[in-house]
Chains A and B, each alone.
Chain A
């Protein structure tokens, strides 16, 4: 049996995603053996990220300060909003450099099984942003899963009632560019077929 402080560290580490009990033990003993400087640097980094990073008051993306970098950027088009489930969904879209607008992070997707209702997501805040005016288009970029699709449907319906002039779009899903048909899984290929268009 480990001394209580070690056990406490193991228990905390084991709560992290992808970390089982054994890995947690290995990490804990690594930290024990490491230089104090190194261990304090880790502790400080964890503390700092929790103290300094919060949610943007406009779009609920991660932000250092009251607003995120994208909401502060004057060059971004404020008339297009891309709605995503989680802050890490912003990163791949940003990498494309194709999306000129701003984001709205819901903080999850509707899932009654997990007790997630519309009030638990930042949906009312999205409606409020749209109601302020100046929005031309809302792009629904929730995941193409059952929960993501239902969330998109729910928001699309809500926007249709509240702001009929705003265009609501949904990301297309289909084949990854550069991929061989042969290597596409059946579901992706099936969706690509369903969404085919004339050339």
Chain B
């Protein structure tokens, strides 16, 4: 599925804007602060119903406006699709897919997948393991939509077990029902860990290749680090039971897939601790690109790739390699302050759009399907 057009209203710096995307690469260029990143965020927001930059969604509404709205036009083999997100702070978001109200856009089957690289997302490499677990679970959900429910089931079973631990500790409940919750946590936990392991396995080799290509010296490595090595749900339940006393002391469950991590390393050393800023950026980029290729394999279509200001920090040779990777397949949107930093930006088939003062000015004619 590809995104053909995005329309925004009162989104960040934009009062109103509309942009047609090219089938391959679209380059947004303009000076710093012109609103390029805001446009990428709007694309992400329109496709997922979430922001990729902030958890305070109030910020998305243009200063002085009361609500914001983003509409996405997309199409696949079946024909055109539409998604829309309306948001007014303090109220539930209004999400629609093909005109029908939905609770969550991420559950909609006919939606474009998106993969985004923002400099702030470096947190994924250097931040807490929870971010990497959430990221792995998003990848699992994108690869196998039916398995998205596993994370939710595990989270709710774990919350129940933790609540029970708290009640036992406070003397308000007995241990009698603990084995049942151990089994329920373990049943979903094993499924969740196996899904993560399978997803990382699909990306592992691609990561090593891409990280090498983009200039990560030595031996780049991506490795899933599960907390438990239990082979079956029964084994995991037994591991939980063994640790009950420690859990009761702490008041929460200390073992299980909610302690898993994803290791990004070079020559066996964790980039989180030992990587330079530049190495961490390359690792993140390699991870996102490898996931995109895995998704292209598994789902038949690569996600829309949003790259914010990624070229400026790479040397010319690596820019060339990155541009070649991006151009291989699928749709992507790249922002830059300087068109010269994007190899191939002048090629026919590449859409170029100048961004200035909350307005968009395409340098290239609208894509062919717009005429029809």
Residues of chain A having any CB pair with chain B under 8 Å: 110-113, 115, 117-119, 146-147, 149-151, 153-154, 157, 186-187, 189-190
0/1 string, B301-339, CB within 8 A of A gives 1: 000000000000000000000000000000000000000
Q: Would you call B174 an interface residue if the criterion is a C-beta within 8 Å of the partner chain's C-beta atoms?
A: yes
From B146, B167, B183, contact of A112 by CB (8 A): B167
In the bound complex, how far is the Cα of B176 from the Cα of A153, in angstroms? 12
In the complex, the answer to whether B160 meets A146 with C-beta atoms within 8 Å is: yes
Q: Would you call B246 an interface residue if the criterion is a C-beta within 8 Å of the partner chain's C-beta atoms?
A: no
Contacts of A112 in B (CB 8 A): 160-161, 163-164, 166-167, 173, 177, 181
In the complex, the answer to whether B173 meets A150 with C-beta atoms within 8 Å is: no
User: How distant is A4 from chain B, measured CB to nearest CB, in Å?
Assistant: 32
In the complex, the answer to whether B174 meets A187 with C-beta atoms within 8 Å is: no
From B160, B180, B187, contact of A157 by CB (8 A): B180
In the bound complex, how far is the Cα of B163 from the Cα of A150, in angstroms? 14
Q: Would you call B145 an interface residue if the criterion is a C-beta within 8 Å of the partner chain's C-beta atoms?
A: yes
In the bound complex, how far is the Cα of B176 from the Cα of A154, in angstroms? 8
In the complex, the answer to whether B146 meets A150 with C-beta atoms within 8 Å is: no
From A153, A186, A189, contact of B180 by CB (8 A): A153
User: How distant is A111 from chain B, measured CB to nearest CB, in Å?
Assistant: 6
User: How distant is A155 from chain B, measured CB to nearest CB, in Å?
Assistant: 8
Contacts of B174 in A (CB 8 A): 117-119
Interface hub of B157, B166, B176, B184 (most chain A Cβ within 10 A) = B184
Q: List 21 A-B contacts (CB under 8 A).
A: A111-B160, A112-B164, A112-B166, A113-B163, A117-B173, A117-B177, A118-B176, A146-B157, A146-B160, A146-B188, A150-B160, A150-B181, A150-B184, A151-B180, A153-B179, A154-B176, A186-B145, A186-B148, A187-B146, A187-B149, A190-B149
In the complex, the answer to whether B167 meets A146 with C-beta atoms within 8 Å is: no
Q: Would you call B66 an interface residue if the criterion is a C-beta within 8 Å of the partner chain's C-beta atoms?
A: no
In the complex, the answer to whether B157 meets A150 with C-beta atoms within 8 Å is: yes
User: How distant is A115 from chain B, measured CB to nearest CB, in Å?
Assistant: 7
Q: Would you call B366 an interface residue if the criterion is a C-beta within 8 Å of the partner chain's C-beta atoms?
A: no
From B147, B153, B179, contact of A146 by CB (8 A): B153
Contacts of B173 in A (CB 8 A): 112, 117
Q: Which secondary structure dominates where chain B touches chain A?
A: helix
Q: Would you call B241 an interface residue if the criterion is a C-beta within 8 Å of the partner chain's C-beta atoms?
A: no
In the complex, the answer to whether A113 meets B180 with C-beta atoms within 8 Å is: no
Give 16 new A-B contacts, CB below 8 A, not counting A112-B177, A117-B174, A189-B146.
A110-B160, A110-B180, A111-B160, A112-B167, A113-B159, A146-B156, A146-B184, A150-B157, A150-B184, A154-B179, A186-B145, A186-B148, A186-B149, A187-B149, A190-B146, A190-B149
In the bound complex, how far is the Cα of B160 from the Cα of A111, in angstroms? 6
In the complex, the answer to whether A150 meets B149 with C-beta atoms within 8 Å is: no
Shortest Cβ-Cβ A-B pairs, 3 listed: A154-B180, A186-B146, A112-B164
Contacts of A115 in B (CB 8 A): 167, 172
Of chain B, the residue at the smallest CB distance from A110 is B177
Contacts of B188 in A (CB 8 A): 146
In the bound complex, how far is the Cα of B182 from the Cα of A157, in angstroms? 12
In the bound complex, how far is the Cα of B150 from the Cα of A190, in angstroms? 11
Contacts of A151 in B (CB 8 A): 180
In the bound complex, how far is the Cα of B191 from the Cα of A190, in angstroms? 12
Known A-B contacts A112-B173, A187-B149; the reply to A150 vs B156 at CB < 8 A is no
Of chain B, the residue at the smallest CB distance from A154 is B180
Known A-B contacts A153-B184, A187-B146; the reply to A113 vs B160 at CB < 8 A is yes
In the complex, the answer to whether A153 meets B183 with C-beta atoms within 8 Å is: yes
Contacts of B146 in A (CB 8 A): 186-187, 189-190
